[in-house]
A = this chain, B = another copy of it.
Amino acid sequence: MSNMLTPLRDIRLRGFGERVPVDEAIKWVDSHPANTNSEEIPTGAACGRFLVQPFVAPADAPAVDLAARDGYALLSAETVGAGGYNPLLFHIRGAESPLGAFSAVLVSAGTPLPPGADAVAPFELVRVATDIAELLGPVARGTGVILAGQEARKGAILIDTSRPLRPSDLGLISSFGIELIRVIRHPMVRLVVTGPNPSGNPADANGPMLRALVARDGGLLESCTYGATKRDDIARLIARPGADVILVCGRTGTGADDEAPLALDVTGTLSIHGIALRPGGSCGMGSAGGVPVILLPGSPLACYSAYDLFAGRLIRRLGGRCSQLPYRIRKARAGRKIVSSVGDVEFCRVRFVAEEVIPIGSANAGGLASVARADGFVLVPAPLEGYAPGTLVDVYMYGSELEITTI
């Protein structure tokens, strides 16, 4: 890891000294190699997962020439000259017989073409009397036919590893008879929610929020433990094997009971504590037994901010996903001044009023209610004291995954 700042370890009752820039913390996250651990799962359960190897067509698709439509399979060369005033006669044969001269075989879309046929005439072009078909127009070669290998050639790369599998991919893979595929394994995430929550309100906001965020980012919950407060108890929960990532929530600050950073220091290494981010500045990072550990603030808004910037990025990265923020950016002008303090990256929730964005709450205030009322957020870089009204800003849009369009 490049020249990381080494903060004081026990900053309790003293306050953070200089805090680590957000960029440095992101560098720490990105120093972890993407997961290449894989598992074999049923094809039908693989939507949203990432392949380990590109999917290569194991055979031509289709394997043989198929009828592309319902109709009569025949030899196109025999249809030349057919017309409404000059119907040509074809003998209707059973599907099993090879095609004789001026013969036609009734076929369903998707079934193999009888040997000798090279086109399928649609019913609209045929008048049938018992076993004789009158053809009312010519049919060009290949009409109504899917040629062998037309959809995919054996050996062609059909799906690469850079994107999650889509529903149609599951269909494509299944169409080759492949029932199991190898995908990147979900990173196992251990959640340690310290507590009890010291706020006036005893209910825990962070547990349900973090579980949903971990799921969003492709992590699988290894375990979720509530209530540890003592240094040794937290340390024991960190030290236990079995997780790919450990998130410890709460007890990260400068209060007398903020034991999480010290617990990590006991059992592993605390690499970063205190980040120039608002809210979320008491976030910490380190590792224990080779497993990355992220310490998230207990204040729900700060927890959310730090999770999204660092923990989510790490989980996405370990799961083979793109590590960047999973929100679409929309450019918009600030309708009011967006206030920020110099020196910190600020996580500013905003909402749209007409085509402009206005801030909701301030960096540290407003709680999760300010997120609920927001359409997205703006990250104000550390050197700026905010954005003046009219500035064009990047808005990370909530709900981009359900962005709706009209047809």
A175 & B213 in contact (Cβ 8 Å cutoff): no
Contacts A62-B200, A326-B402, A402-B164 given: A367-B205 contact, CB under 8 Å? no
Question: Which single member of B64, B68, B254 contacts A200 (CB below 8 Å)?
Answer: B64
Number of copies: 2
A124 & B15 in contact (Cβ 8 Å cutoff): yes
A203 & B216 in contact (Cβ 8 Å cutoff): no
Q: Could you mark each residue 377-403 of chain A with 1 if its beta carbon is under 8 Å from any beta carbon of chain B, else 0? A: 001000000000000001010111111
Q: Could you mark each residue 285-329 of chain A with 1 if its beta carbon is under 8 Å from any beta carbon of chain B, else 0? A: 000000000000011100010000100000000000110111111
Select from chain B the residue with minimum beta-carbon distance to A253. B70
User: Which of A31-39, A102-110, A335-343 is the contact stretch?
Assistant: A102-110
User: Which of A1-9, A166-174, A232-240, A351-359 is the contact stretch?
Assistant: A166-174
B207 & A158 in contact (Cβ 8 Å cutoff): no
Question: Which single member of B110, B164, B170, B256 contacts A299 (CB below 8 Å)?
Answer: B110
Nearest-Cβ distance from residue A81 to partner chain B, whole angstroms: 22
A400 CB contacts on chain B under 8 angstroms: 328, 400-401, 403
B176 & A203 in contact (Cβ 8 Å cutoff): yes
**Which chain A residues (176-193) contact chain B, with CB distance < 8 Å?**
176-178
A372 CB contacts on chain B under 8 angstroms: 55, 158-159, 166, 168-169, 172
A150 within 8 Å of B (CB atoms): yes
Nearest-Cβ distance from residue A169 to partner chain B, whole angstroms: 6
A208 & B108 in contact (Cβ 8 Å cutoff): no
A68 CB contacts on chain B under 8 angstroms: 364-365
A101 within 8 Å of B (CB atoms): no
